[in-house]
Amino acid sequence: MTIRGKAYIAGAFEHPLRKAPEKSVAQLHAECAKGALVDAGLSKDDVDGYFCAGDAPGMGPLSMADYMNLRLRHVDSTDTGGSSYLVHVAHAAEGIALGKCSVALITLAGRPRSEGMATGTAPRPGNPAQPDIQFEYPYGPTIVNMYAMCAMRHMYQYGTTSEQLAWIKVAASHHAQYNPNAMLRDVVTVKEVLDSPIVASPLHRLDCCVISDGGGALVVVAPEVMKSLRRPRVKLLGAGEAPKGQFGGDVDLTFSGARWSGPRAFAEAGVAPADIQYASIYDSFTITVLMQIEDLGFCEKGQGGRFVADGNLISGTGRLPFNTDGGGLCNNHPANRGGMTKVIEAVRQLRGEAHPAVQVKNCALALAQGTGGSLGTRHGSATLILERE
């Protein structure tokens, strides 16, 4: 049993707002849902499967299905942080392959910017029943310093430099200049990244993604539904997922769960990293990108610094065009969860609907990679491989 070729992404929508103080979270979810359905050429009443994660208010799918008045026969609220929406695409394909649904809607939305959330720099107390919390929270773990420890160890073990990490931000900024909705549209230099203040050593302010309101949605459909639609056909070829934690104390911060989710997706798709023409890579921080690029096999482990340097991720000049919307580093990181926008930009590339300045020529094979949670403690990784049919 495989999901290879069993489902298509028919609709994709990224909310144009990056700050939404006048809107509710449920409203943003519904606006994204509507946008993706319009994009697909489907209506709300066609939806029979619904997927959402921890950003959905209330009782997740129950609250949101009620708000949107959906009549469903399949729901899934798997939450693996920012990678949830890639997992949802895979799980939607599984549901479709088994006949449990034929039009699956996936939504994400949130307002961390309007709510003034110190996303990356404030420790989060969490639920005391969370088994790790008493052994970690008192020490002040934040999103940034956890990823910073990954960067510090990667530098120690492989000689990775801050200059090399900065190239990832530079490449993202080259792409963001063409995105009118991007939060940060100025092209930056390596020096500007290195001159920005240290948030948590060795990560600078410009090594970190934006904090934005907004959201996105996807519509995943069965092959027979796709045939009835007039949109370009974006087929799911393969998917992999893998959580990674601290291994009972055998902590290794130098790799991500992409080491496992990537090969699973490639095996199912029957393609290799060298075949990928465009890659959306989760970019909460520059180090996040570097580790996943290595773990997915785009270069050898430890060689990520060399691979990303000198503009190698810039569309048109580099070997691996990545995050051509500007990514989380420059464009959008709605609800502090960047997985949704990773899939959306991959769909744009495969449809030929990316900005002409960053569109990969004849883009027929793309990868979307997400991680969620924290690479420094425990996270989920998900990989999707998509093909234009």
Residue whose CB is less far from other proteins, 152 or 314: 152
Beta bridge partners of 329: none
CA angle 99, 74, 269 (to 5 degrees): 55
Q: How many residues bind other proteins (CB under 8 A)?
A: 41
The least distance separating other proteins from the CB of residue 80, rounded to whole angstroms, comes to 20
| Residue ranges in 98-231 assigned as alpha helix (H) | 143-158, 162-176, 190-195, 223-227
Instruction: Check residue 159 for interaction with other proteins (CB under 8 A).
Output: no
Instruction: Check residue 250 for interaction with other proteins (CB under 8 A).
Output: yes
Measured CA to CA, the distance from residue 343 to residue 361 in angstroms comes to 18
Select from 45-53, 69-77, 242-250, 265-273 the region that touches other proteins (CB under 8 A): 242-250
The least distance separating other proteins from the CB of residue 160, rounded to whole angstroms, comes to 13
Instruction: Check residue 361 for interaction with other proteins (CB under 8 A).
Output: no
Measure CA 324 to chain center: 13
Instruction: Check residue 365 for interaction with other proteins (CB under 8 A).
Output: no
The least distance separating other proteins from the CB of residue 156, rounded to whole angstroms, comes to 4
| Residue ranges in 19-161 assigned as alpha helix (H) | 25-40, 61-68, 84-97, 143-158
DSSP 257-301: THHHHHHHHHHHHT--GGG-SEEEE--SBHHHHHHHHHHTTSS-T
Q: Footprint of other proteins on residues 185-224 (CB under 8 A)?
A: 197-203
The least distance separating other proteins from the CB of residue 244, rounded to whole angstroms, comes to 14
Among 135, 224, 230, 362, binds other proteins (CB under 8 A): 135
The least distance separating other proteins from the CB of residue 151, rounded to whole angstroms, comes to 8
Tokens of 338: 């960047």
The least distance separating other proteins from the CB of residue 154, rounded to whole angstroms, comes to 9
- Tokens 């799918």 belong to 61
Instruction: Check residue 152 for interaction with other proteins (CB under 8 A).
Output: yes
Specify the amino acid at residue 315: S
What DSSP element (H or E) covers 241?
Answer: strand 234-244
Contact residues for other proteins (CB under 8 A)? Answer: 121, 123, 125, 128-129, 131-142, 144-146, 148-150, 152-153, 156, 197-203, 246-251, 253, 377
